């Protein structure tokens, strides 16, 4: 489009608002903000078409720090806000910034429905496994037995896995990355931005104050080698030093197992297929948890389906094409009328 050619070349600075960023020192949120700012100017979308929506929590302050349209909403409801915005104006690129408590506890219902509807929005879930803003209670993703201010003897709640939840909703795009894994995070955010439909990204985010080190196993340069596996479409799942370890599917138990790559035929390894409509293998991967397994990072699933906003608006067009544009006076005068 000619209009796009005239667009000023934007830089990350153009997306910076005049508000001072107020997260705690060394909070993982800083890195996520930086990567988003890096990706936005590369998308060829004018700045005024971005809308960042959030709920409540540390992560939900995000929209204030970007010089786009922004709506800091109420706890858990960001997906519903985004639905109103996107259905009203599908021309906008709408992002939802949320946290584990916001998205999976108070807002679990809204997340479920935005994912199943496949509304064309990008959802980034900052998972720090804790309530930060309210000063350190356990969250729906905190591990079983977690000791916090509200669980002095350890929590007896089983945690929910964001990826498994998203798969259960049959989301069309599901990915995971880590706050300080800068290159990988940039890649995943870019992929999410370019996906048509609900893009769901879980980011492991360190809460330096209330849950420091919760993801050290996936952040530390050395430790992560054995603890995460990077997903690449069409490639086998390999990890560990020199990628000597792989994941194989035990076809009798239907469970994944870690194998020594040198001891199995390459075709025996599990290959990643992000485009698979059938989500069973993705489920299997999403359920691989540290420390038993390396945890998958990258794009777990990316399939194409019509988007909600597109279909809602297509019905409007279809109705107008079929019956002509609405005429209120004609409507008022239809049916049984009488004149006095």
Partner 1 sequence: MSSTIAVDGQSPGADSSRLTEPLESAVIRFCGDSGDGMQVVGGQMTNASAAFGNDISTFPDFPAEIRAPAGTLAGVSAFQLHFSSHDIYTPGDELDALVVMNPAALKTNLNDLKQGGILIVNEDEFDSSNLNKAGYAPGYNPLRDEALLSRYDVHLVPMTRLTRDAVEGLGLSPKEAARCKNFFALGLAYYLYDRDMSTTKEWIRQRYKKNVAYVEANIRALEGGYNYGYSTEKFLKRFQIPRAQLAPGKYRKITGNEATAWGLVAAAHRAGKRLFYSGYPITPASDILHQLSEMKRFGVRTFQAEDEIAAMTATCGAAFAGEIAVTGSSGPGIVLKGEAINLGVMTELPMVIVDVQRGGPSTGLPTKTEQADLLLAMFGRNSDSPVPIVAAASPSDCFAMAQEAVRIAVQFMTPCFLLTDGYIANGSEPWRIPRLHDLPPIVIKHPQGRTVGTNGSNGQTDNGTPPPFLPYQRDERLVRPWAIPGTPGLEHRIGGIEKRDGTGNIDYSPANHQHMTETRHKKIANIADTIPPQEVVGPKSGELLVISWGGTYGAVLAAVQQCLAAGKSVAHAHLRYLNPFPKNLGDIIRNYQKVLIPELNTGQLRLLIRSAFLVDAQGFNKVQGKPFLIREVVARIHQILEAH
91 binds, among partner 1, ligand SF4, none (CB under 5 to 8 A by kind): partner 1
Rounded to the nearest 5 degrees, what angle is found at the Cα of 300, between the Cα atoms of 32 and 207? 30
* Residue 16, contacted partner among partner 1, ligand SF4, none, CB below 5-8 A by kind: partner 1
Stretch that binds partner 1, among 6-14, 165-173, 181-189, 265-273 (CB under 8 A): 6-14
Pairing of strands 69-72, 93-99: unpaired
Return all residues near 268 (Cβ < 8 A) that are at least 6 apart: 248, 259
- Report, in angstroms and rounded to the nearest whole number, the Rg of the chain calculated over CA atoms: 23
Range 107-126, binding partner 1 (CB under 8 A): 109-110, 112-113
Q: How many residues line the site for partner 1 (CB under 8 A)?
A: 67
Q: Which residues bind ligand SF4 (CB under 6 A)?
A: 23-24, 27, 29, 58, 128, 132, 207-210
Binding mask 45-84 for partner 1 (x = CB under 8 A): -xxxx-x-x---------xx--xxxxxxxx--x-xxxxxx
Cα–Cα distance for residue pair 152/290, rounded to 1 Å: 24
In the set 44, 266, 291, 324, which binds partner 1 (CB under 8 A)?
324
Q: Is 42 in the site for partner 1 (CB under 8 A)?
A: no
Q: In this complex, which beta carbon is closest to ligand SF4, that of residue 25 or of residue 152?
A: 25
Closest by CA position to 178, among listed 223, 218, 214, 237: 218
- Footprint on residues 251-290 left by partner 1 (CB under 8 A): none
**Binding residues for partner 1 restricted to 10-39, rule: CB under 8 A:** 10-11, 13-14, 16-19
Look at residue 42 and give the partner it binds from ligand SF4, partner 1, none, a contact being a CB closer than 5 to 8 Å depending on partner kind: none
Residue partners of 238: CB distance under 8 A and separation at least 6:
229, 244, 245, 246, 261, 269
**DSSP assignment letter at 17:** -
Apex 114 CA angle, 109 and 117, nearest 5: 120
């Amino acid at each position: 489009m000619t209009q796009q050619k005239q667009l000023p070349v934007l830089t990350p600075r153009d997306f910076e608002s005049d508000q001072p960023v107020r997260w705690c020192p060394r909070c993982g949120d800083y890195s996520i903000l930086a990567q988003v700012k890096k990706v936005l100017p590369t998308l060829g979308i004018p700045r005024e078409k971005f809308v960042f929506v959030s709920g409540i929590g540390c992560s939900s302050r995000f929209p204030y720090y970007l010089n786009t349209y922004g709506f800091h909403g109420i706890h858990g409801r960001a997906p519903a806000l985004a639905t109103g915005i996107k259905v009203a104006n599908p021309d906008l690129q709408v992002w939802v910034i949320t946290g584990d408590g916001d998205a999976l506890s108070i807002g679990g219902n809204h997340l479920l429905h935005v994912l199943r509807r496949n509304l064309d929005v990008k959802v980034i879930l900052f998972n720090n496994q804790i309530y930060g803003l309210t000063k350190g209670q356990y969250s729906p993703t905190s591990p079983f037995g977690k000791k916090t201010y509200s669980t002095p003897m350890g929590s007896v709640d089983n945690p929910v896995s964001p990826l498994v939840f998203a798969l259960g909703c049959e989301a069309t795009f599901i990915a995971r990355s880590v706050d300080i894994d800068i290159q990988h995070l940039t890649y995943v955010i870019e992929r999410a931005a370019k996906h048509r439909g609900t893009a769901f990204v879980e980011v492991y985010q360190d809460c330096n104050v209330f849950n420091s080190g919760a993801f050290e196993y996936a952040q530390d340069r050395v430790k992560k080698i054995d603890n995460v596996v990077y997903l690449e479409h069409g490639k086998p799942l390999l990890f560990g030093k020199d990628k000597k370890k792989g994941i194989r599917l035990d076809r009798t138990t239907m469970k994944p197992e870690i194998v020594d790559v040198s001891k199995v035929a390459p075709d025996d390894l599990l290959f990643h297929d992000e485009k698979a409509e059938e989500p069973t293998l993705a489920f299997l991967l999403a359920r691989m948890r540290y420390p038993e397994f390396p945890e998958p990072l990258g794009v777990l699933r990316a399939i194409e389906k019509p988007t909600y906003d597109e279909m809602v608006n297509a019905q409007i067009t279809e109705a107008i094409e079929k019956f002509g544009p609405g005429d209120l006076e004609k409507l008022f005068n239809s049916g049984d009328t009488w004149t006095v």
